[in-house]
Structure 1
């Protein structure tokens, strides 16, 4: 299904977690920019409109109260699907966006409360509400955090299995709601260290620019991006190794610690289960179990959407 063309000024609203907030792409004074702001600047000819964050603070070096693109970034670092559904979605619906991005789910995989059926239900509710207003929906599937962090296989595989489950749900629901979907869970960009920040989980400026470029290309195919594509070249100097290590040792360490406190006991259990199945040669059972959980989650949505019997 081909999305409709935009008419008049484009209202673009971004929802999600630290990836969409722009972590890894600093613009000074502790502010982040990120792929969504870079994409906004290329959606239409002329300067983008005011770029606002969750607290109404401007993000990025340029501010325009009016323009062909009016961009608001509601993404907040650490957000899970529940946070986006309960806190960000209502604000987005009030803005009645023409274009809206929902890129979330990695933080769900890092919590002991991970439940693919709940993740699927929340994403379905968000996608339905936004497209129900006529918004064009942007989505993406992402790489597993375990591989990005370089964790040992027994620790990385359970996280990768969870991320594949989230990606499978995003794929299926993106197709259901006619989303413009970016397949970003594979490819050379994942292994190119120049595209990633010191924490190995968030893109650096080059990485954010690659995401913006790829989204822009998809939107251009649909006739929805008429402005210039974002430049792949960094605008700001690459942070020094000392600066990167300092960030990782302060803010980055806190980010990891908060998640490890919640996840680590369960992750160790998952790792032990992984090693036990590997020793028995039955690792495929874990993959089949995860696939069955995704199928059940999507089937539950289909049943819930059927009209009541007369």
Structure 2
């Protein structure tokens, strides 16, 4: 650029694609018979009155990093988006097959291929599911280690690829229960609106959002304690059963290890083992 010339404004975003799991699918923000969610709310504010914007939500409830890399990424690349959100990882932590090295390689490939295609990325660190569900410490600690590792990978990749990044694991998000739905794992309407507004502010600062920011005011009443108890007694039970068939046997073994190491004063070994696996994953990924 010649000296004295003002920086060129980025072209307007006309194609936005969301990749991920139930968070980006919109679970917790019901509109009619379906879900809306933060990505759709953000899309409406990327252009004045949403004009000239094509938004595609490829996110699927239950998706893991493998699903995003193998199924959603090819569809996203075919759409040639200027903006793409990649928010995934919690479902990986809830599986007995959890492998932080595999997750890091998959997410690195997703971010690399989208960035190479000229796409600006949106990413987020996510809350620890054990904390959000209020699980007992022996059950919560293994999940917390896994989620910290996932967040460390996402944070490193966000820096590497210049992503627009949100720390949704911060206390400002996790401690405000008005942002979360009855299931305590997905944002409610207020939470989805807050996520959309936070991303909008960051994108506006980059010159990538010139529409009106999403309103923070929900259209539906926040879930009550009775709603939460009803969810736990009905849909919540089904959710636990689905997850338990895959995760619970291993999680019980992990919890037993927590109790044993706590009793012998050697719990630091578990933390060190997790840190070693994370370091190997980050080192291998950043070397590529």
> What's the TM-score once normalised by structure 1's chain length?
0.86
Q: Alpha carbon RMSD of aligned pairs, Å?
A: 1.7
Which deviates further from its counterpart, 266-275 or 249-258?
Answer: 249-258
Counterpart for residue 96 of structure 2: 112
Counterpart for residue 23 of structure 1: 27
Counterpart for residue 54 of structure 1: none
- Match 1:91 to one of 75, 95, 108: 75
Pairs within 5 Å for 1:296-307: 296-303=280-287, 305=288
Give the Å deviation of 1:177.
Answer: 0.9
Alpha-carbon distance in 2 for matches of 1:134, 1:9: 12
- Match 1:213 to one of 197, 204, 209: 197
Counterpart for residue 34 of structure 1: 37
Counterpart for residue 247 of structure 2: 263
Gaps of 5+ in 2: 1-7
Counterpart for residue 4 of structure 2: none
- Match 1:187 to one of 154, 157, 171: 171
The answer as to whether partners of 1:6 and 1:98 remain within 8 angstroms in 2 is: no
Counterpart for residue 235 of structure 1: 219
SS at match of 1:138: strand
Alpha-carbon distance in 1 for matches of 2:80, 2:126: 27
Give the Å deviation of 1:289.
Answer: 1.5
Counterpart for residue 12 of structure 1: 16
Counterpart for residue 53 of structure 1: none
The answer as to whether partners of 2:13 and 2:209 remain within 8 angstroms in 1 is: no
Alpha-carbon distance in 1 for matches of 2:127, 2:266: 24
Give the Å deviation of 1:300.
Answer: 1.7
Pairs within 5 Å for 1:127-276: 127-239=111-223, 245-276=229-260
Inter-CA distance 255–35: structure 2 relative to 1 (3 Å threshold): same
How many pairs were matched up? Answer: 281
Alpha-carbon distance in 1 for matches of 2:68, 2:20: 6
Inter-CA distance 144–241: structure 2 relative to 1 (3 Å threshold): closer
1:285 paired to 2:269 = yes
1:45 paired to 2:29 = no
The answer as to whether partners of 2:138 and 2:258 remain within 8 angstroms in 1 is: yes
Give the Å deviation of 1:244.
Answer: 5.3
Alpha-carbon distance in 2 for matches of 1:75, 1:241: 29
Inter-CA distance 216–9: structure 2 relative to 1 (3 Å threshold): closer
Alpha-carbon distance in 2 for matches of 1:174, 1:234: 30
- Match 1:71 to one of 55, 61, 65: 55
Alpha-carbon distance in 2 for matches of 1:8, 1:213: 18
> What's the TM-score once normalised by structure 2's chain length?
0.92
**What are the Cα deviations for residues 204-247 of structure 1, in whole angstroms up to 9, with x where unaligned?**
10111111111111112212111121111102233566555544
Gaps of 5+ in 1: 49-66, 306-310
SS at match of 2:48: coil
The answer as to whether partners of 2:12 and 2:208 remain within 8 angstroms in 1 is: no
1:295 paired to 2:276 = no
Which deviates further from its counterpart, 292-301 or 160-169?
Answer: 292-301
**What are the Cα deviations for residues 241-261 of structure 1, in whole angstroms up to 9, with x where unaligned?**
655554444433222211111
Counterpart for residue 3 of structure 2: none
